Every structure is written in structure tokens, then in C-alpha cells.
Amino acid sequence: MSKRKSPISATVDFDAQGVQHGFLKLPISNDESAWGAVMIPVTVIANGEGPTALLTGGNHGDEYEGITALQKLSTSLKAEDVKGRVIIVPMMNTPAAQVGRRTSPMDGGNLNRSFPGDPDGSVTEKIADYFTREMVPMADVVLDLHSGGRTLDIIPFGASHVLDNPEQQRQALEGAKAFGAPYAMMMFELDASALFDTVVENQGKIFIATELGGGGTSTPESLAITERGIDNVLIHFGLKDGEVAMPETQVYLDMPDASCYVQSEHTGLLELTYALGDSIAKGDVIARVYDMTRSGAEPIEYRAERDGILAARRFPAQVNMGDTIAVIAEVVETLGD
């Protein structure tokens, strides 16, 4: 049975030339607005023939690097700078972004765990469905900008995934490298079934993911990496003229399996013993969790299951059972071989 047409409508013409600013409008009805709409900002910049890049931020509403960089780009990128079409959505999950939360205040939905979505589902599922059936099919390449949000801090990297199509994987990996962050990674997802990434990749598009800091804020450094990376991707895929600006060195990382993720089996006060980017050897104590209900109790130690570097860490000092404490990625000479 086919799905009905999405209830979301666009106030921009995706086929028009020049610069347009508008909204993706999702009708809603609640106590505050009987005949209202969720208004998702969108900018379209088109100039002649060429590929289409879909640039997205705010998939999670507490990840500010992408939101800020794309808001800036929406005012600075001119039609004459573009060869093809650039679609900018700074806040995919606008309700979540407006309250600075990972999930939507309207339905509790985590957009990046809601794909492919449902036109008859919750607000979050309707947004996911629109991107799946309307936005992604227009794109040749999708750059989705993430960071750690309020609960994680992550080294800055561009990433791709292992794919069944070798050429699609190669192009995505080259794009992740060209993003030009200090690190490039082949990333392992704990559960990819409902990710935006998977929807894009299953449609045969080039998908580039990023992680760019965290802690529920942004820094001049993280924004500089993000803005340079967006520009690099547009240049790399032929949407802009110029030279890709790479760092002096770029470290390649691999996450081969779920053992890269260190998750807490205890609740308490978290002490991390390594900083982001530090080298770690298998067996090293990487964290301790202290019982906050009493003094005099020895902490629980967590040890690394592999050699690598600390690629991500929990940001708050308190930890609950099931929280990711750390992510350890392996340093490799090449990616995708």
C-alpha cells in the first residue's frame, strides 16, 4: 500500500534559479495554535546546471556547530558562487532546536531514529518522511552536520560507512576526507536501521556524516572546522570553484565493531582518565565511576578493549547505566581498503 502525499509543503520553488529563503510547513493543531504549522527554515541557492547538495544541521536540536554554520552560509552564499543547486536546512528538527534538546518537545521524537518516517505518524515521523521522499531524491550528495550535543564531546571528523556498493562507498569516503577535519573516520553505528544516513545511502546517494565537538555549545575552533568543511565539500563535488583547504595532517580512524563503544554498567560520578585525542592501549583504565551515595567505596574501573585514541567522551560528570562513557577508534594508515 502506497503512502499518502506528505502533509508538509514548501514555500520555495526548488526548481527556480537564484536565492530563495522560505519554510517547510507542517500543519499542526494544539492548545497554543488551533490552525498552526511547524515552520522549518530552508534556503535554496541555484545557478545553472550541476549537481545538488543537501546540507543539513539540527537533526538533533542541541548540536549547534551545524546549525550555526548553516545559518551563516544561508546569508553569505551567493547564486553566482554556485554551479548547480545547494539546499540548506539548518534545523531539520526545528522544534527540538528551538528548545535546545536532542528530541522534539512536541512528541519526544528523536529525528535521527525515526527514518524513513510516516506521513500519518507523529510530527517527527512526518518530518522524517518528507526528507525521505521529497528532499533526498533531489540531492546527489548529502552533508549532515552533527556534534555531541549536551551529553557528548567528540573529536572533529568527517565520516562514511561501509556500503555494499564499492563506488558509492569510495565517493562518500573521499567526500569525508575532503571535508578537511583533523580526522576522517570509517564509522560503525550501533543501530543504523532508522538513521537519516541509511535512508540516503539506500537511495544510492553520497552521504557524508560529521561529528564536530559537543557539550551543548560551539567554539570558534569547531565553527571554523565546520565552515571550512562545508566549503570543501561544495568544492570537492563541483558546486563551487576553488581549492579544497586541508589541515596539515589528517588522521585516519576506523571503528570496526561495537567494542569501540564503552558503556556504563553503573550509576554515579564519572572520572575520565584520558583527554580527547589521547592514545590508549588495550587494558588501560579509561574511566572510573564512583558511588555517590556513600564515601569510602572504591570506584568501578573501566578498561579499554582495544588500542586506539579517545574519539568521544561523555560530557556530564554524572553517568547512568547504559550511558556511553567513551568511544575508542583505531588509528589506521588507509581507509576503505
pLDDT at residue 148 is higher than 80: yes
What distance in Å separates the CA atoms of residue 312 and residue 324, rounded to the nearest whole number?
9
pLDDT at residue 189 is higher than 90: no
- Candidates 332, 333, 312, 334; CA nearest to 324 is 312
What is the value of pTM for the model shown?
A: 0.95
What distance in Å separates the CA atoms of residue 99 and residue 22, rounded to the nearest whole number?
21
Give the mean pLDDT of 131-150.
Answer: 98
Q: What is the tens place of the pLDDT at every residue in 59-91?
A: 999 999 999 999 999 999 999 999 999 999 999
pLDDT for residue 192: 83
Structural domains of the chain sorted by starting position, each given as residue range(s) with its CATH number in brackets: 9-254 (3.40.630.10), 259-331 (2.40.50.100)
Reading the block at residue 248, the C-alpha cell is 596539515
pLDDT at residue 1 is higher than 70: no
* Proportion of the chain above pLDDT 90, given as a percent: 93
CB 227 within 8 A of CB 195: no
Tell me the C-alpha to C-alpha distance, in Å, between residue 299 and each of 34, 49, 141, 294, 309: 53, 61, 47, 11, 23
Q: What is the tens place of the pLDDT at every residue in 200-241?
A: 999 999 999 999 999 999 999 999 999 999 999 999 999 999
| pLDDT tier, 273 (very low <50, low <70, confident <90, very high otherwise) | very high
